[in-house]
Chains A and B, each alone.
Chain A
Amino acid sequence: MATDVTQQGLGSSPQRPAGYTGIEPGERFARHDMQRGFDGLETADTLERGLGWFSIALGTAAVVAPGVVSWVCGTRSPALMRLVGTRELAAGVGILTQADRTPWLWSRVIGDTFDLAALSVALIRRGTRGRAAVAMAAVAGVTALDLLASLRATGSRAVPTVQGVSGRTDIYLERSVAISKSPEECYRFWRSFENLPRFMQTLESVRQLDEGRSHWVAKGPLATRLEWTSEITADRPGEEISWRTVDDSGTAHAGSVRFEAAPAGRGTIVRVSLHYSPLGGALGAGLVKLLGHDPQSRIREDLRRLKQVMETGETPTTRGQPAGQRSLLGRVTRQWGIS
């Protein structure tokens, strides 16, 4: 029933929603290099890239000449130094190549903590104390920079950096459902926003602010509450409704729903596509998926309920029916959405 052409991360979306001005998945990396590489660098970017190259340089040295580097630092283990070098190389490559640098920057902070601990051992030993102290001061300085860059990257990720949609991670997904009603009926039902909470399970309310803008309140994962303001970017009766969140919304997304007449009077294919930047980036998106709140299953189930409400006037349920004694397992599965 539901087509699943969801794509995450890299890859190009077949159709972008009308009015969508953000970056396509996959497009962002190329553009990132173009803009930042040649058109003058922002300070944040300079620092991050600088740390990336620093990682590569230090990592290469530590892997190629572990003996020399460990002598300089006052430590005695070239084998350990080689491991440190490998870690540095990984962090450097991560920072310089990945669209979302934040976890790689944080990995440097964690690495620094480890290095400081290792150096403090060398500091206690007589004979290497001088060199270790110098190395430790250097590492502490780098740690401060790493921490600064990481915090800044995390902070900037919570707020979309590109107008409308694109945050650090842009996710595109699309789902559709076939409904035995005309495109006009489906459009009318959806366009009356007060109908939306009838089939969007987490949606609590939609309040019309003015002609094009509305304020949305929904339940988020772990008893949180999500709110956003969105504006309609396209509204073609019987065909399409598109929207995107306005600048300061925490849950940035742009979406569209299209109503396509199915062949031979087989009703309508209602097609929803969505670009969004999950809070917490890819990691956050994964966590939310584990909690059963990922937008993909959400949209799949919401579209299923839309079909049920439109075709039958109700949604099927077993909540409140009799049963024998439920085991703990039985009660837990109901919490996870099994009726």
Chain B
Amino acid sequence: MKANVWYGREQLHVENVPDPKILNPRDAIVRITSTAICGSDLHIYDGYIPGMLPGDILGHEFMGEVMEVGSEVRNLKIGDRVVNPFPISCGACFFCQQSLHSLCENSNPNAWLAEKLWGHSPAGLFGYSHLLGGYAGGQAQYVRIPFADVGPIKVPEDLSDEQVLFLSDIFPTGYMAAEQCGIRQGDTVAVWGCGPVGLFAIKSARLLGAERVIAIDRFPARLRKASQWADAETLNYEQVDVRQALEVMTGGRGPDACIDAVGMEGHAHGVFGGYDLLKQSLLLETDRPTALRQALLACRNGGTVSIPGVYGGFLDKVPFGAVVNKALTVRSGQTHVQRYMRPLLELIQRGSIDPSFVVTHRLRLEDAPRAYRMFRDKQDSCIKVVLKPWADVPTVEPDKVQENGRILH
């Protein structure tokens, strides 16, 4: 089969690899019809995720058709159309029983490695480093899904791939980020980063009853999406002082909740920006927590800072004093996707949200290396790329694309 294989920083090759096979009784093999590039895949692309090995197959947002099931998988049958959650969860351990699926105790074959770095191991993930299991990912034509009786859910035929694909990660991730804010009537929520997760967090905060949502980014196309799609107020941090603007907008008190949908590769100007880049490149810190610093300082006393953005290791100059002295609640976690898939599918079916709005580019799997670069550099107003592993979509150069940024097949 064809798969998008990682060989190092900015080195991706779409090449032929062996087809996956059933390895355990609870496995299933799925023929992938749509697969997406996640913002967190860019951290791998840029070489910031530890524990990657050359030859790893990327991708953790995918859906498709069940081709084969193991002897213990009884809830799926060949031909079912399924969306798959990115964490691999057994459904039986202490954490899975509490719907904390991304903390599954039984799915990471390299748990001891993760324990060395973080104290305890979370669940294994698809295509996301050997620290998290080293599972082959889904930017490929086929994928093997462990614990297939717990993860993938069947989706109705009347919804398109793009309407349900993001149940695999970014919709639940944005939703959980907003849910963790404990939004109450009249609340103002500020969201750093208007990439796909940020946009879903903004929309979800609205769905959960936030009075105002303030979107922070520097790319006009992304801010425009936030305002058009989720009626957010927007701040372009290249044009205004975000802290000051938030103070003015909230009567000096600060937002009730802040969401950091940026993560480890935060972009910053000035002294701090250079400082973090230098330290990160010297391996003196693993992450550039620009957005997190700002969110902690901006949040109102007693407020909540929710972190869906990915951080991997050791952060520097994080104002933890603000957490203590302002009595902040900090919430984070890899998303417990399994917990959210069915309720969110219902929201889609009811028409409360159409997740396909984030898609800006549809490309072939072969275009993955180019698509990563485009997504990373925000060329052509790229927000979300969907790859088609089987479709023969004609290759379109980014500069030939229409103003609205869509490549249609």
Contact = CB atoms under 8 A, between A and B. Distances in A.
Interface of A: 1, 178, 180, 266-267, 297, 300-301, 304, 307-308, 311-327, 329-330, 333, 338-339
A330 to B, nearest CB: 4
Contacts of A267: 94
Contact of A327 (B1, B53, B106, B136): B53
Interface of A is mostly: loop
Given A1-B120, A324-B55, 17 more contacts: A180-B92, A180-B94, A180-B97, A266-B94, A304-B112, A311-B90, A311-B92, A311-B93, A313-B72, A316-B107, A318-B109, A322-B20, A322-B140, A323-B5, A324-B6, A327-B54, A339-B130
Interface stretch (B22-30, B76-84, B242-250, B293-301): B22-30
Interface in B91-118: 91-94, 97, 105-113
Nearest to A4: B115
A300 B18 contact: no
Nearest to A300: B112
Nearest to B27: A314
Nearest to A310: B92
B21 interface: yes
A180 B106 CA distance: 12
Contacts of B134: 318, 338-339
B54 A308 contact: no
Interface in B1-31: 1, 3, 5-7, 13, 15, 17-21, 23-26
Contacts of B108: 316
A139 to B, nearest CB: 50
A6 to B, nearest CB: 14
Given A1-B105, A338-B130, A321 B3 contact: no
A308 B106 contact: yes
B53 A312 contact: no
Contact of A322 (B17, B91, B146, B147): B17
Contacts of A301: 112
B201 to A, nearest CB: 31
Interface in B249-269: none
Interface string B62-91: 000000000010000000000000001011
B144 A321 contact: yes
Contacts of A326: 53-55
Nearest to B6: A324
Contact of B133 (A178, A316, A320): A316
B171 interface: no
30 contacts: A1-B111, A180-B93, A180-B94, A180-B97, A267-B94, A300-B112, A307-B93, A307-B106, A308-B106, A312-B106, A314-B72, A315-B109, A316-B88, A316-B109, A316-B133, A321-B23, A321-B144, A322-B1, A322-B3, A323-B5, A324-B3, A324-B5, A324-B7, A324-B13, A326-B53, A326-B54, A326-B55, A333-B53, A339-B133, A339-B134
Interface string B23-57: 11110000000000000000000000000011111
B55 A320 contact: no
Interface of B is mostly: loop
Contacts of A325: 5, 7, 54-55
A315 B23 CA distance: 10
Q: Which range holds the interface residue count of chain B?
A: 35 or more
Given A324-B7, A339-B109, A319 B54 contact: no
Contacts of A266: 94
A300 to B, nearest CB: 7
A178 B94 contact: yes
A297 B112 CA distance: 9
Contacts of B198: none
A312 B92 CA distance: 7
Contacts of B110: 338-339
B372 interface: no
B113 A338 contact: yes
Ranked nearest first, the 6 interchain pairs of A and B with the lowest CB-CB distance are: A324-B5, A339-B109, A324-B55, A322-B17, A312-B90, A330-B53
Contacts of A318: 23, 109, 133-136
A327 B25 CA distance: 30
B138 to A, nearest CB: 12
A316 B144 CA distance: 12
B54 A307 contact: no
A333 B111 CA distance: 15
B59 interface: no
Contacts of B1: 322
A151 to B, nearest CB: 40
Contacts of A300: 112
A316 B148 CA distance: 12
A312 B55 CA distance: 29
A312 B104 CA distance: 11
B338 to A, nearest CB: 15
Contact of B111 (A304, A311, A319, A323): A304
Q: Which of B109, B112, B140 gathers the greatest number of chain A CB atoms within 10 Å?
A: B109
B389 interface: no
Interface in B135-166: 135-136, 140, 144, 146-147
B144 A313 contact: no
Nearest to A311: B92
B23 A329 contact: no
B5 A316 contact: no
A321 B53 contact: no
A313 B25 contact: yes
Q: Which of A304, A311, A322, A338 gathers the greatest number of chain B CB atoms within 10 Å?
A: A322
A317 B130 CA distance: 12
A254 B53 CA distance: 41
A315 B147 CA distance: 11
Contacts of B147: 312
B23 A324 contact: no
B322 to A, nearest CB: 32
B124 interface: yes
Given A180-B92, A180-B94, A312-B92, A327 B55 contact: yes
Contact of A324 (B15, B24, B105): B15
Contacts of A316: 24, 88, 106-109, 124, 133, 146
